[in-house]
A and B are shown apart, each in its own frame.
Chain A
């Protein structure tokens, strides 16, 4: 059994598909991908697939992830092409990667979401935890940003999902706001060393 990491984007009208609807569309595309998928057992077998934490409705994403189990390594270019033919407009596979066995599962590393927030006050980067109990309070974070800058938000895009804050700072050395889901504080992110 091999695991494949699927990186995809969700743009335009597809941003209005719920997490569940997106999962359905991706699963259908996987079934049409030609890959030899691993299915769950039981009366209602399903594709063995796991998704990154849900994206709120209306938020676009440039780099979302899902992980799918296959019996043997497929032709990745062919699989990409077939999946893209089977996806609704706005959902597209960006890349596929066969994961080495030592790589942790998606659910283990998908911790932080990085968002680009565009509004009258300009464009910001906002980071918050998306896993576990306190994850996914994007709406609260946006409200906090609006309050702080007194400007409305026009568009929000999740630009990536990361395992640690340091990874984000490496890629985005400029100012990134970090929203603490535990206490609702907004601060400028600095290298923590802790991740």
Chain B
């Protein structure tokens, strides 16, 4: 690889200037287990980008998997990048330093592929900030043969429309297999001097799971709704997500990177299964990661031990969407915690169901540490719980809290949402009375002395590919009114409560179900700022103005109830679950009817299993 002027620039920047910024450890790229491979001449050089700061990005499992997949190949390499903190951004801009891959210190625009994960709506402006710091043309249409291919992925790819024009292509679903098909395609293209970019993108579109936004034209009606999405030049309609059928057979990060700077989740993550069939109607993850596929117990046991000995981590987290649901959870958790206890490694279960079984399990395996426990009843009234299909009762919650209290936890966190479809004032008040009941009587009629409850309340944001994709989100004044009810009602000794910034949830709502007309809005907002998920940098005013200037109405995107037949901006993208199933679920929600978990009951016909490659897989052997 030729050494250009900009590579020198980065090098001298490290010599002279890096000590000026806060926590320079974030930019060094010398983590234990970093592969630090040089760029190749003929293979595909990738840089994997998490569009938020190092401390958040380093904990992300998806990119860790891709990092491993790509670097296992002799002919290709992967480096990493994150959004620099504001002081570093300013310094880089002042000194003319382009954003670079942490390990190679080569500017991003010299890579073949810049892969960006879309994990959250409030990081979309960060994506544009990253492209502009890297000196890569923002719009895919403006990129030429010397510019990298900007590739997106992650759950945000299920509706990437607000940023679609900035991506050459996106990948829907799980990346372990499709990444190799893409790498091979890029290699081949590189052999042909990267000529005819549009032709190359057309070829990519024939790879299952690959979405090339420029190959779809969106037609709007005068009222702003979409009349149709037209695939061009034989592009697939819809693009279907990729699913790995057997997780035991794909690459696992055996030597995960060890963050140099303390990160949000300073632990090794053992992904025990993917998917969740509990069917909570608000939950996008529960819909788009289907079907449930468990890894086998022995694979997990060996993998967990391997990661601990390769990192020196003191915590192994059994992660999934609902860890207590894993078929062999007791056996796995007990084996791991018994064997790792000697090395003082704690085994933790981050996402627990709200029941005493889960709490007792967490307690049994987490003998060593009792920091905080989080339970998520989401809604406090039985009626609203049946709307969201979360089958948990007040008694379950009280028992779970009591079990935790008995096991020694004194600090617990409860998660609720406001603004769920059909929510009335009394449903909000039910949160207060439920919390009061916990603090007064526990489940034994006596107040649990010394218990401190932290109640965290988020605003419900309807997400694409869920049964609630049709509903209107709460307006800002109405959210404020419901927060006020909580503020008054949660003045209880030992209880603190936190709420999500209302305008942040509102912006999340705009972008979650946004369409392509929002592209210039994101671009304008990103010019003036970024890090919208950090309250010290978030500015609703910036976004409101950007929308107003383009004649777009936030309430239309956020608060409007959609009709059954409305064409959604993401209708050409399929997460596997049928739209008709989602609609039926929405109707059942309105009637307060429950839907069973297909793990225990009959197939619900959600559409995700194809009866061949894609189907549920349990570690106990059943499916």
Q: Which chain A residues have a beta carbon within 8 Å of chain B's beta carbons?
A: 13-14, 16-18, 20-21, 24-25, 27-32, 39, 43-45, 57-58, 86-90
Q: A16 to B32, Cβ gap below 8 A?
A: no
Q: B260 to A28, Cβ gap below 8 A?
A: no
Q: B23 to A18, Cβ gap below 8 A?
A: yes
Interface size class of chain B, counting residues whose CB lies under 8 Å from the partner chain = 20 to 34
Cα separation A18 to B19 with both chains bound (whole Å): 11
Contacts of B262 in A (CB 8 A): 20-21, 24
Q: B14 to A13, Cβ gap below 8 A?
A: yes
Q: Of A16, A45, A90, which contacts B19 at CB under 8 A?
A: A16
Q: B32 to A28, Cβ gap below 8 A?
A: yes
Q: Which of B14, B28, B370 has the largest number of chain A CB atoms within 10 A?
A: B28
Q: B314 to A31, Cβ gap below 8 A?
A: yes
Given contacts A16-B24, A31-B343, A21 and B261 within 8 Å (CB-CB): yes
A30 to chain B minimum Cβ distance, whole angstroms, is 8
Which residue from chain B places its CB closest to the CB of A91 in the assembled complex?
B30
Q: B30 to A14, Cβ gap below 8 A?
A: yes
10 closest pairs, A vs B, by CB? A28-B312, A58-B19, A31-B312, A16-B24, A32-B312, A88-B30, A89-B30, A45-B344, A13-B28, A21-B25
Q: B343 to A86, Cβ gap below 8 A?
A: no
Contacts of A31 in B (CB 8 A): 312, 314, 343
Cα separation A21 to B312 with both chains bound (whole Å): 14
Q: Of B260, B313, B368, which contacts A25 at CB under 8 A?
A: B260
Contacts of B312 in A (CB 8 A): 27-32, 86
Can you list 20 residue pairs at the A/B interface with Cβ under 8 Å? A13-B14, A16-B19, A18-B23, A21-B260, A21-B261, A24-B260, A25-B260, A27-B312, A28-B32, A29-B312, A31-B314, A32-B309, A39-B344, A43-B369, A43-B370, A44-B368, A44-B369, A87-B32, A88-B31, A88-B258
Cα separation A17 to B262 with both chains bound (whole Å): 11
Given contacts A16-B25, A16-B28, A17-B260, A28 and B311 within 8 Å (CB-CB): yes
Contacts of B14 in A (CB 8 A): 13
What string of 1s and 0s marks CB contacts (under 8 Å) between B337-377 and chain A? Answer: 00000011000000000000000000000001111000000
Cα separation A16 to B311 with both chains bound (whole Å): 21
Cα separation A24 to B23 with both chains bound (whole Å): 14
Check: B18 CB closer than 8 A to any chain A CB. yes
Contacts of A13 in B (CB 8 A): 14, 28, 30
A30-B312, A31-B343, A57-B19 are known contacts; what are 10 more A-B pairs with Cβ within 8 Å? Answer: A13-B30, A14-B30, A16-B18, A17-B260, A18-B23, A21-B262, A28-B311, A45-B344, A87-B32, A88-B28
Contacts of B370 in A (CB 8 A): 43
A89 to chain B minimum Cβ distance, whole angstroms, is 5
What string of 1s and 0s marks CB contacts (under 8 Å) between B6-39 and chain A? Answer: 0000000010001100011100101110000000
Contacts of A20 in B (CB 8 A): 262
B136 to chain A minimum Cβ distance, whole angstroms, is 26
Contacts of B369 in A (CB 8 A): 43-44
Q: Which of A27, A31, A58 has the largest number of chain B CB atoms within 10 A?
A: A31
Q: Which chain B residues have a beta carbon within 8 Å of chain A's beta carbons?
A: 14, 18-19, 23-25, 28, 30-32, 258, 260-262, 309, 311-314, 343-344, 368-371
Which residue from chain A places its CB closest to the CB of B27 in the assembled complex?
A16
Cα separation A58 to B369 with both chains bound (whole Å): 35
B15 to chain A minimum Cβ distance, whole angstroms, is 10
Contacts of A28 in B (CB 8 A): 32, 258, 311-313
Contacts of A16 in B (CB 8 A): 18-19, 24-25, 28
Contacts of A57 in B (CB 8 A): 19, 24
B207 to chain A minimum Cβ distance, whole angstroms, is 37
B483 to chain A minimum Cβ distance, whole angstroms, is 34
B55 to chain A minimum Cβ distance, whole angstroms, is 12
Contacts of A86 in B (CB 8 A): 32, 312
B30 to chain A minimum Cβ distance, whole angstroms, is 4
Cα separation A57 to B21 with both chains bound (whole Å): 11
Q: Which of A16, A18, A44, A89 has the largest number of chain B CB atoms within 10 A?
A: A16
A7 to chain B minimum Cβ distance, whole angstroms, is 20
B24 to chain A minimum Cβ distance, whole angstroms, is 4
Which residue from chain A places its CB closest to the CB of B20 in the assembled complex?
A58
Q: B32 to A88, Cβ gap below 8 A?
A: yes
A8 to chain B minimum Cβ distance, whole angstroms, is 15
B451 to chain A minimum Cβ distance, whole angstroms, is 17
Cα separation A13 to B438 with both chains bound (whole Å): 52
A146 to chain B minimum Cβ distance, whole angstroms, is 16
Which residue from chain B places its CB closest to the CB of A20 in the assembled complex?
B262
B621 to chain A minimum Cβ distance, whole angstroms, is 36
Contacts of A88 in B (CB 8 A): 28, 30-32, 258, 260
Which residue from chain A places its CB closest to the CB of B29 in the assembled complex?
A13
Contacts of B313 in A (CB 8 A): 28
Q: Which of B260, B312, B343 has the largest number of chain A CB atoms within 10 A?
A: B312
Cα separation A58 to B344 with both chains bound (whole Å): 33
Contacts of A14 in B (CB 8 A): 28, 30
Which residue from chain A places its CB closest to the CB of B342 in the assembled complex?
A36
Contacts of A39 in B (CB 8 A): 344
A132 to chain B minimum Cβ distance, whole angstroms, is 26
Cα separation A100 to B182 with both chains bound (whole Å): 60
Which residue from chain B places its CB closest to the CB of A21 in the assembled complex?
B25
Cα separation A28 to B18 with both chains bound (whole Å): 25
Q: A17 to B25, Cβ gap below 8 A?
A: yes
Which residue from chain A places its CB closest to the CB of B21 in the assembled complex?
A16
Q: B258 to A90, Cβ gap below 8 A?
A: no
Contacts of B343 in A (CB 8 A): 31
Which residue from chain A places its CB closest to the CB of B262 in the assembled complex?
A24
Which residue from chain B places its CB closest to the CB of A25 in the assembled complex?
B260
Contacts of B32 in A (CB 8 A): 25, 28, 86-88
Contacts of B311 in A (CB 8 A): 28, 32
Contacts of B18 in A (CB 8 A): 16
Cα separation A31 to B18 with both chains bound (whole Å): 30
Contacts of B368 in A (CB 8 A): 43-45
B29 to chain A minimum Cβ distance, whole angstroms, is 8
Cα separation A20 to B18 with both chains bound (whole Å): 18
Which residue from chain A places its CB closest to the CB of B266 in the assembled complex?
A24
Cα separation A88 to B260 with both chains bound (whole Å): 8
A192 to chain B minimum Cβ distance, whole angstroms, is 34
Cα separation A90 to B309 with both chains bound (whole Å): 21
Cα separation A86 to B34 with both chains bound (whole Å): 11
Q: Which of B19, B260, B262, B369 has the largest number of chain A CB atoms within 10 A?
A: B260
B9 to chain A minimum Cβ distance, whole angstroms, is 17
Contacts of A29 in B (CB 8 A): 312
Cα separation A37 to B494 with both chains bound (whole Å): 39
Cα separation A30 to B314 with both chains bound (whole Å): 12
A41 to chain B minimum Cβ distance, whole angstroms, is 11
A19 to chain B minimum Cβ distance, whole angstroms, is 11
Q: Which of B30, B31, B314 has the largest number of chain A CB atoms within 10 A?
A: B30
Cα separation A88 to B343 with both chains bound (whole Å): 21
Which residue from chain A places its CB closest to the CB of B408 in the assembled complex?
A43
Contacts of B261 in A (CB 8 A): 21
Contacts of A32 in B (CB 8 A): 309, 311-312
